[in-house]
Amino acid sequence: MISSHSQFTSSSSQPATGKSAEAPRALTREARLSWIGSKLAQLIDIEDNRLDDLHHRLWMRILQSGLEPAAPRNETDQLAIHILAVATLADDVASKDGPKAAIAAVMHASGDSLEPLLAEKFLRLASSPIFWMALRSDKVIDA
């Protein structure tokens, strides 16, 4: 059970103001994975009526992180697993070694541990500096 909504928001306890001189707060890992997953989902050819279910499945998988992985329930859930594999690898590597390393890691894993089509879509997203700026801020922008 989710104990607090705050675990999915910025880590600062101070309210956000438009005139703050502080550096932008980073998104939580869950928010970054969700955002990357959402962007990938928008780039693949999926029917609009399945997109909401896919977003739900992505969040359910993100919330289950650290638990024993459940078997995929259906095709949409399997797609969510594949999308999160790309998002997780990219986020983990980018957090440690930066965007260029994340791009290289996804390229290297494409066709091996990552679905090639999803890796290709990610590489298209990741080629934009706006994509990386959005992941480092507390406000996700539509890249």
Specify the pLDDT at position 121.
95
Average pLDDT over residues 88-94: 94
pLDDT of residue 118: 95
As a whole number of Å, the CA-based R_g of the chain is: 15
pLDDT band at 10 (very low <50, low <70, confident <90, very high): very low
Residues 6+ apart with CB under 8 A from 20: none
Distance set, CA 103 to CA 46, 71, 107, 115, 138 (Å): 24, 28, 6, 15, 22
Write the pLDDT tens digit of every residue in 18-57: 444 454 556 788 889 988 998 999 898 888 888 888 988 8
Does 66 score more than 90 pLDDT? Answer: no
Question: Is residue 17 scored above 90 in pLDDT?
Answer: no
**Average of per-residue pLDDT across 115-141:** 85
- pTM reported for the whole predicted model: 0.74
